[in-house]
């Protein structure tokens, strides 16, 4: 049983690893909640419980996977918005640089005409 739980946690970690640096606290909180609820579903050793708890654990894993994927999606959207904002600032800087180059070229041509 411990092997199954460990496999499930490893799979969750593999899926979630790229997004963990963005919101470590939120994901850690979800993982702690998952761990507690998962353990609550696990029957005591030598109990007469059927294998129904395995379905509950699987459903719990799926629910938490969906929650974490939703969190990662929201974080990704925030990162994309920030990225687009930075791109628009770079576009503005490029436009300003082109104007500066145009003005400097105009000044340079004027100086050349004056020297002639």
Burial of 34 (0-12, 13-18, 19+ CB in 10 A): buried
Measuring CA to CA, how many Å separate 27 from each of 7, 80, 86, 106?
18, 20, 27, 57
pLDDT of residue 57: 80
Per-residue tens of pLDDT for the chain, all 116 residues: 455 555 555 555 655 555 445 456 687 888 888 888 877 777 766 666 666 777 778 888 888 888 888 888 988 999 999 999 999 999 999 999 999 999 999 999 988 888 77
């Amino acid at each position: 049983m411990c092997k199954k739980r460990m496999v499930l946690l490893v799979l969750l970690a593999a899926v979630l690893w790229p997004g963990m640096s963005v919101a470590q606290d939120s994901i850690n909180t979800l993982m702690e909640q998952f761990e507690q609820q998962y353990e609550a579903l696990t029957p005591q050793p030598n109990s007469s419980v059927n294998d129904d708890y395995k379905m509950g654990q699987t459903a719990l894993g799926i629910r938490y996977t969906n929650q974490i994927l939703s969190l990662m999606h929201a974080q990704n959207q925030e990162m994309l918005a920030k990225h687009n904002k930075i791109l628009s600032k770079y576009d503005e800087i490029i436009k300003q640089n082109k104007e500066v180059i145009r003005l400097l070229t105009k000044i340079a041509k004027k100086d050349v005409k004056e020297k002639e």
